[in-house]
Amino acid sequence: MINKRQFLKLVAGLGMSSMLPGAQAKQSSQAEPRSVKKPIVVSTWEHGIPANKAAWKILTNKGTALDAVEQGVRVPEADPEVTTVGYGGFPDREGKVTLDACIMDHNQDCGSVAFLQNIKHPISVARQVMEQTPHVMLVGEGAEQFALKQGFIQENLLTPKAKSAWQQWLKKSKYAPVINVENHDTIGMLALDDQGNLSGACTTSGAAFKMSGRVGDSPLIGAGLYVDNEVGAATATGMGELMIKTVGCHLVVELMRQGRSPEQACKEAVERIAKKLGDYKQFQVGFLALSNTGEYGSYCIQPGFNYAVTDASGSRMIDANSWL
Ligand code: SD4
């Protein structure tokens, strides 16, 4: 008669160990290796398509997510037809184009600029703040001086189109941003590269005809953008005051950490806004999230927000589900 020890040895030798009692349970409790869909890049609104294209070129050439998001959002920053990002952005009520942007990488490093004038690519200045200074955020005159020292050139960013929209606005001087229209072009971009690293970028000229000095969510880490490589990344578009009051993008990432899918996390963040902020129905907010496994999702307050996705199967626009 063989003893227990000899029996186990025999079973192992015959390759039958999976038939032992408890073996099945042990196998299924082992974490499955997660399949990661990479590289991938997602970004807000229709101008996300050409922006993603620039990012995709970098991602498919073994570039980093950080380079991809920077180069991606530079496309709408330079496009005069995009009226709430960079060059061609609608000005504040004094007629000044003031820009906000931030960037964040997989190491939790980040850089940001706010109320920056006369520099076409605030996202690249934000990256320089991240890489060349001991700080996270520079604003206004200080940010502009820093940019000039880094070799950026001073340019007039107020296009004839934006100037005439402002002159038109001055006739009534009523600040009532039109949902999905006056406010709808901030680009937030999230990318996951071949190494499995996430980065994000967000850049805007902010709410059209805002008060001079107003800063929105887009340059604020946690409000307009947040990245945690262990979990995922989120960015936002819409009326920044609502994202600031709820630290919206940080909330989305923390909800993903607790197990929500990207869309569920975005939806719960919108629910939080709806529950806490009485006036939410007058505004648009759209969250967009990407997990570190390449799952993406979005949710917004009002119908009308869409986002661009680019991966190995090509580029497409997706309409976000909405609360109202
Ligand atoms: C802001 N969130 O400055 C920006 C504006 C925006 O789509 O996202 N527009 O409040």
Instruction: Give pLDDT tens digits for 220-232.
Output: 999 999 999 999 9
Instruction: Give pLDDT tens digits for 195-214.
Output: 999 999 999 999 999 999 99
Confidence of residue 181 (pLDDT cuts 50, 70, 90): low
Instruction: Give pLDDT tens digits for 95-146.
Output: 999 999 999 999 999 999 999 999 999 999 999 999 999 999 999 999 999 9
Question: Would you call 60 a catalytic residue per the annotation?
Answer: no
CA-proximal residue: ligand 1, atom 5 (nearest) = 206
Query: Does the pLDDT of residue 29 top 60, yes or no?
Result: no
- Going 238 to 186 to 72 to 142, the CA torsion angle's sign is negative
Residue 184 φ/ψ, nearest 5 degrees: -105, 20
Catalytic residue among 186, 203, 237, 246: 186
The residue type of 83 is T
Kindly give the distance from the C-alpha atom of residue 27 to the centroid of ligand 1, in angstroms, as a whole number.
48
Q: Which domains does the chain have, with CATH numbers?
A: 36-322 (3.60.20.30)
Which position has the token pair 């090509």?
Answer: 314
Q: Provide the pLDDT for residue 26.
A: 39
CA-proximal residue: ligand 1, atom 10 (nearest) = 240
Kindly give the distance from the C-alpha atom of residue 59 to the centroid of ligand 1, in angstroms, as a whole number.
27
Q: Provide the pLDDT for residue 295.
A: 98
CB of 203 closer than 8 Å to CB of 85:
yes
Instruction: Give pLDDT tens digits for 239-267.
Output: 999 999 999 999 999 999 999 999 999 99
CB of 114 closer than 8 Å to CB of 202:
no
Burial (CB count within 10 angstroms: exposed 0-12, middle 13-18, buried 19+), residue 211: exposed
H-run or E-run covering 149: helix 140-149
The region that residue 247 occupies, defined by phi over 0 for left and psi between -120 and 50 for alpha, beta otherwise, is left
Q: Provide the pLDDT for residue 269.
A: 98
Q: Is the CB of 184 under 6 A from ligand 1?
A: yes
Q: Is the CB of 217 under 6 A from ligand 1?
A: yes
Buried b (16+ CB within 10 A) or exposed e, 188-202: bbbbbbeeebbbbbb
CA-214 nearest atom, ligand 1: 3
pTM: 0.89
Q: Provide the pLDDT for residue 30.
A: 52
Q: Is 160 helix (H, G, I), strand (E, B) or coil?
A: helix
Q: Is the CB of 99 under 6 A from ligand 1?
A: no
As a whole number of angstroms, the distance between CA 308 and CA 249 comes to 18
Q: Provide the pLDDT for residue 174.
A: 82
Q: Provide the pLDDT for residue 162.
A: 94
Confidence of residue 179 (pLDDT cuts 50, 70, 90): low
Q: Is the CB of 84 under 6 A from ligand 1?
A: yes
Kindly give the distance from the C-alpha atom of residue 232 to the centroid of ligand 1, in angstroms, as a whole number.
21
Kindly give the distance from the C-alpha atom of residue 85 to the centroid of ligand 1, in angstroms, as a whole number.
9
Instruction: Give pLDDT tens digits for 263-293.
Output: 999 999 999 999 999 888 989 999 999 999 9
